[in-house]
Amino acid sequence: MNLNTARVFVRDIALARRFYAEALGLKPHSQDLARGWCVFNAGNCELVLEAVPADAAADRQALVGRVTGLSFLVPNLHVAHQDLKSRGVDFTAAPERQFWGGSVAGFRDPDGNRFQLVERDRA
Protein backbone atom coordinates (compact mmCIF):
# COMPACT_ATOMS: atom_id res chain seq x y z
CA MET A 1 0.00 0.00 0.00
CA ASN A 2 1.03 3.60 -0.58
CA LEU A 3 -0.52 6.51 1.31
CA ASN A 4 -1.90 8.71 -1.44
CA THR A 5 -4.09 11.40 0.10
CA ALA A 6 -4.48 13.30 3.36
CA ARG A 7 -7.61 15.39 3.98
CA VAL A 8 -7.75 18.55 6.07
CA PHE A 9 -11.00 20.30 6.86
CA VAL A 10 -11.29 24.10 6.82
CA ARG A 11 -13.97 26.77 7.13
CA ASP A 12 -12.85 29.24 4.43
CA ILE A 13 -11.51 27.42 1.36
CA ALA A 14 -10.20 30.58 -0.35
CA LEU A 15 -8.27 31.67 2.75
CA ALA A 16 -6.95 28.13 3.22
CA ARG A 17 -5.86 27.88 -0.42
CA ARG A 18 -3.90 31.13 -0.09
CA PHE A 19 -2.24 29.99 3.13
CA TYR A 20 -1.17 26.57 1.84
CA ALA A 21 0.03 27.99 -1.49
CA GLU A 22 1.64 31.25 -0.36
CA ALA A 23 2.71 30.69 3.25
CA LEU A 24 3.59 26.99 3.00
CA GLY A 25 4.64 27.06 -0.65
CA LEU A 26 2.66 23.98 -1.72
CA LYS A 27 1.63 23.71 -5.35
CA PRO A 28 -2.11 23.36 -6.05
CA HIS A 29 -2.92 21.06 -8.94
CA SER A 30 -6.72 21.03 -8.98
CA GLN A 31 -9.54 22.88 -7.28
CA ASP A 32 -13.17 23.83 -7.30
CA LEU A 33 -13.41 26.56 -4.68
CA ALA A 34 -17.13 27.03 -5.39
CA ARG A 35 -17.67 23.42 -4.34
CA GLY A 36 -15.24 23.73 -1.44
CA TRP A 37 -12.14 21.75 -2.29
CA CYS A 38 -8.54 22.19 -3.37
CA VAL A 39 -5.76 19.61 -3.94
CA PHE A 40 -2.05 20.28 -3.41
CA ASN A 41 1.07 18.33 -4.28
CA ALA A 42 2.72 17.56 -0.94
CA GLY A 43 5.66 15.35 -1.77
CA ASN A 44 4.62 11.72 -2.08
CA CYS A 45 1.08 12.48 -0.97
CA GLU A 46 -1.71 14.78 -2.08
CA LEU A 47 -3.13 17.18 0.48
CA VAL A 48 -6.84 17.78 -0.03
CA LEU A 49 -8.51 20.76 1.64
CA GLU A 50 -12.26 20.42 2.12
CA ALA A 51 -14.52 23.22 3.30
CA VAL A 52 -16.99 22.52 6.08
CA PRO A 53 -19.98 24.85 5.70
CA ALA A 54 -21.02 26.99 8.67
CA ASP A 55 -24.40 25.22 8.75
CA ALA A 56 -22.91 21.70 8.78
CA ALA A 57 -23.74 19.29 11.58
CA ALA A 58 -21.69 19.45 14.77
CA ASP A 59 -19.78 16.25 13.93
CA ARG A 60 -18.60 17.84 10.66
CA GLN A 61 -17.74 21.13 12.43
CA ALA A 62 -15.57 19.13 14.86
CA LEU A 63 -13.30 18.13 11.94
CA VAL A 64 -11.94 21.70 11.70
CA GLY A 65 -9.22 23.04 13.97
CA ARG A 66 -7.67 19.91 15.41
CA VAL A 67 -4.42 18.02 15.54
CA THR A 68 -4.04 16.47 12.10
CA GLY A 69 -1.20 14.09 12.94
CA LEU A 70 0.47 15.21 9.70
CA SER A 71 4.14 16.15 9.49
CA PHE A 72 6.08 17.88 6.74
CA LEU A 73 9.63 16.57 6.34
CA VAL A 74 12.19 19.35 5.80
CA PRO A 75 15.95 19.12 5.24
CA ASN A 76 16.77 21.86 7.77
CA LEU A 77 14.21 22.57 10.48
CA HIS A 78 15.68 25.86 11.68
CA VAL A 79 15.81 27.28 8.14
CA ALA A 80 12.25 26.12 7.37
CA HIS A 81 10.99 27.45 10.71
CA GLN A 82 12.47 30.92 10.11
CA ASP A 83 11.26 30.98 6.48
CA LEU A 84 7.68 30.05 7.39
CA LYS A 85 7.62 32.47 10.35
CA SER A 86 8.65 35.26 7.97
CA ARG A 87 5.63 34.33 5.81
CA GLY A 88 3.27 34.66 8.78
CA VAL A 89 2.88 31.01 9.77
CA ASP A 90 1.73 30.72 13.40
CA PHE A 91 4.02 28.32 15.27
CA THR A 92 2.68 26.59 18.36
CA ALA A 93 6.03 25.02 19.29
CA ALA A 94 9.58 26.10 18.51
CA PRO A 95 12.06 23.64 17.01
CA GLU A 96 12.94 21.06 19.60
CA ARG A 97 15.21 18.01 19.61
CA GLN A 98 13.32 14.76 20.21
CA PHE A 99 14.34 11.63 22.13
CA TRP A 100 14.31 9.62 18.88
CA GLY A 101 17.03 11.82 17.41
CA GLY A 102 15.18 14.17 15.07
CA SER A 103 13.69 17.61 15.66
CA VAL A 104 10.14 18.96 15.33
CA ALA A 105 8.29 22.28 15.40
CA GLY A 106 4.51 22.68 15.56
CA PHE A 107 2.37 25.13 13.57
CA ARG A 108 -1.24 25.75 12.70
CA ASP A 109 -3.20 26.96 9.71
CA PRO A 110 -5.74 29.84 9.83
CA ASP A 111 -8.47 27.40 10.95
CA GLY A 112 -6.39 26.03 13.82
CA ASN A 113 -5.50 22.70 12.20
CA ARG A 114 -2.17 21.67 13.70
CA PHE A 115 0.84 20.19 11.90
CA GLN A 116 4.52 19.57 12.49
CA LEU A 117 7.71 20.22 10.61
CA VAL A 118 10.16 17.36 11.04
CA GLU A 119 13.90 17.08 10.44
CA ARG A 120 15.39 13.62 10.70
CA ASP A 121 18.96 13.08 11.77
CA ARG A 122 21.35 12.75 8.90
CA ALA A 123 23.00 9.34 9.08
Three-state DSSP class for residue 120: coil
CATH of the domain at 79: 3.10.180.10
> How many Å apart are CA 84 and CA 8, to the nearest integer?
19
**Digits of tens for pLDDT over the chain (123 positions)?**
888 999 999 999 999 999 999 999 999 999 999 999 999 999 889 999 999 999 999 999 999 999 999 999 999 999 999 999 999 999 999 999 999 889 999 999 999 999 999 999 865
Task: Please state the domain count of the chain.
Answer: 1
List all residues 6 or more positions away from 44 whose beta carbon is below 8 Å from its beta carbon: 2, 3
- Domain containing 15 equals 5-119
What separation in angstroms does the CA of 96 have from each of 66, 68, 70, 74, 112? 21, 19, 17, 14, 21
List all residues 6 or more positions away from 122 whose beta carbon is below 8 Å from its beta carbon: none
